[in-house]
Amino acid sequence: MAPKQSASAPVRKAAAKPAKKDFNGGTIAEFNKNDELSAYREMLLIRRFEEKAGQLYGMGFIGGFCHLYIGQEAVVIGMQMAMKEGDQVITGYRDHGHMLATGMTARGVMAELTGRRGGYSKGKGGSMHMFSKEKHFYGGHGIVGAQVSLGTGLGFANKYRGNDNVSIAYFGDGAANQGQVYESFNMANLWKLPVIYVIENNRYAMGTSVARASAQTDFSQRGASFGIPGYQVDGMDVRAVKAAADEAMEHCRSGKGPIILEMLTYRYRGHSMSDPAKYRSKDEVQKMRSEHDPIEQVRARLLEKGWATEDELKAIDKDVRDIVADSADFAQSDPEPDVSELYTDILL
Ligand SMILES: Cc1ncc(C[n+]2csc(CCOP(=O)(O)OP(=O)(O)O)c2C)c(N)n1
Ligand SMILES: [Mg+2]
């Protein structure tokens, strides 16, 4: 039986689970200098973007719901590094990182957060509702679990059309208890659909810990009764995510059907901007930040291997900050949509 995940336990490495060794050998992907530098830059972009979004929210430029992805960056970047053009991404409301990972612009995402014309949904969708057909990003969904059925539909479309695209459906530990998830699992394996279900287990659904809400806390096993293989991955180590993603892509593209990757990860900020976070201790958050931070891990390796100097890393940070600052300026100066936009893009 899989050990239970306690709130204070460090994130487990895939290697710590011998039964799962045959999946990726419990290994981490070999990263060369370019891989490390690019993972560092892409994760940093998400982190700085989210910090800025938090600031703009505090200043009143962003209204409504806003869920930050800080702490979970390695998940989307590791997955993205294994994807090819045409693969689709769909997720819930904690979606800014997923969009930036697909290459959607910081300007377009930030302007959507502030409800401006230049936003991906013309300022009418906000944080939880953005899409980009060009980047194969299918949202951005506020209904917990909805993206799992829709992502399964994307997999069905791929199979029906006979292409070799894979759909990646991200959802949380809380969403994993939704009924439609299991209807989707059943169809997905019955029809051998190319879908990777990425369960981002950040240990909490709003304020409810996994242990309080889930009878089976090993989410990698949630597809067992449908015959869907699943594996736990250290979601704080971008190399472990990339290794698991490579294997999962191969599984899907070779026609074996869906697969589940449970990413053991952690969010540093509250569930949304109005979360007092009384359900966990500051020590717990601090421990994750200091011992498992996904960006710090890459930074330490780059310095240790002599692949980058402090100055070079500072230059990357400055570059990233410039992109984010530009997006924030744009998001504040771009006009709001015209009132006539209330009558467009709607189903009558
Ligand atoms: C169908 C539905 N039920 C409830 C909610 C309210 N709600 C929003 S987020 C959330 C928790 C989801 O947690 P999890 O899936 O772990 O994702 P995380 O926020 O941790 O990324 C809930 C219950 C909702 N948006 N939709
Ligand atoms: Mg969660």
Per-residue confidence of the chain (348 residues) as pLDDT tens digits?
333 334 333 344 444 343 344 355 567 999 999 999 999 999 999 999 999 999 999 999 999 999 999 999 999 999 999 999 999 999 999 999 999 999 999 999 999 999 999 999 999 999 999 999 999 999 999 999 999 999 999 999 999 999 999 999 999 999 999 999 999 999 999 999 999 999 999 999 999 999 999 999 999 999 999 999 999 999 999 999 999 999 999 999 999 999 999 999 999 999 999 898 899 999 999 999 999 999 999 999 999 999 999 999 999 999 999 999 999 999 999 999 999 999 999 887
Residue 256 lies in a domain: yes
Q: Is 80 part of a structural domain of the chain?
A: yes
Query: Considering the domain boundaries, does residue 13 fall inside one?
Result: no
Sorted by sequence, the CB contacts under 8 Å of residue 311 that are 6+ apart come out as: none
Let me know the angle formed at the C-alpha of 28 by 287 and 21, rounded to the nearest 5 degrees: 100
52 C-beta closer than 6 A to ligand 1: no
pLDDT score for 26: 64
Distances from the Cα of 131 to the Cαs of 160, 197, 268, 327, in angstroms? 23, 19, 26, 18
pLDDT recorded at residue 5 = 39
Q: Output the pLDDT for position 25.
A: 53
Give the number of the ligand closest to the Cα of residue 179: 1
SS3 239: helix
Task: Determine if ligand 1 sits within 6 Å of the CB of residue 202.
Answer: yes
Q: Residue 208's closest CA among 7, 3, 4, 2?
A: 7
Strands 208-209 and 204-205: antiparallel
| Alpha carbons 63 and 115: distance in angstroms, whole number | 8
Instruction: State in Å: Cα 62 to ligand 1 middle.
Output: 20
Number of separate domains in the chain: 1
Q: Is 175 in the pocket of ligand 1 (CB under 6 A)?
A: yes
CA–CA separation, 296 and 302 (whole Å):
10
Q: Which residue range forms the structural domain that includes residue 41?
A: 33-329
Q: Hey, which of 5, 201, 206 would you mutate to test ligand 1's pocket, going by the most ligand atoms within 8 Å of its Cβ?
A: 206
Residue 343 lies in a domain: no
Encode pLDDT of 317-347 as tens digits: 999 999 999 999 999 999 999 999 999 998 8
CA 184 and chain centroid, separation: 20
Query: Shortest CA distance to 43 belongs to which of 189, 229, 241?
Result: 241
Query: What backbone torsions phi and psi does residue 168 show, to the nearest 5 degrees?
Result: -115, 115
* Cα 139 to ligand 1 centroid, rounded to whole Å: 15
HSE-up of residue 284 (Cα within 13 Å, Cβ side): 18
Query: Residue 284 has which token pair?
Result: 């717990």
Query: Which ligand 1 atom sits nearest the alpha carbon of residue 176?
Result: 15
- Give domain status of residue 247, yes or no: yes
Q: Is 222 exposed, middle or buried (0-12, 13-18, 19+ CB in 10 A)?
A: buried
Residues with CB under 5 A from ligand 2 (ion): 172-173, 202, 205
Using the mean position of ligand 2's atoms as its centre, give its distance from the Cα of residue 315 in Å.
34
Ligand number, closest to the Cα atom of 142: 1
**Is the CB of 203 inside a 6 Å radius of any atom of ligand 1?**
no
Q: Which ligand number lies closest to the CA of residue 149?
A: 1
Ligand nearest to the CA of 170: 1
Count of residues making up the chain = 348
Compute CA distances 163 → 84, 166, 295, whole Å: 12, 9, 35
Nearest CA to ligand 1 atom 6: 144
Domain membership flag for residue 346 = no
In a domain, 214, yes or no: yes
Decide whether any atom of ligand 1 lies within 6 Å of the 174 Cβ.
yes
The CA distance from 298 to 34, in Å, is 12
CATH number of domain containing 267: 3.40.50.970
The answer to the question of residue 1 being in a domain is: no
Structural Rg of the chain based on CA atoms: 19
- Rounded to the nearest integer, the mean pLDDT of the chain is 93
Q: Provide the H-helix boundaries in the chain.
A: 21-24, 33-58, 73-80, 96-102, 106-113, 146-161, 179-190, 210-213, 238-253, 282-292, 294-304, 310-333
Edge-to-edge strand ranges of the sheet holding 195-201 = 88-90, 167-172, 195-201, 259-264, 230-234
Residue nearest to atom 7 of ligand 1 (CA): 144
pLDDT digits (tens, 9 = 90+) for 221-263: 999 999 999 999 999 999 999 999 999 999 999 999 999 999 9
Q: Is the CB of 181 under 6 A from ligand 1?
A: no
> Is 142 a pocket residue for ligand 1 (Cβ < 6 Å)?
yes
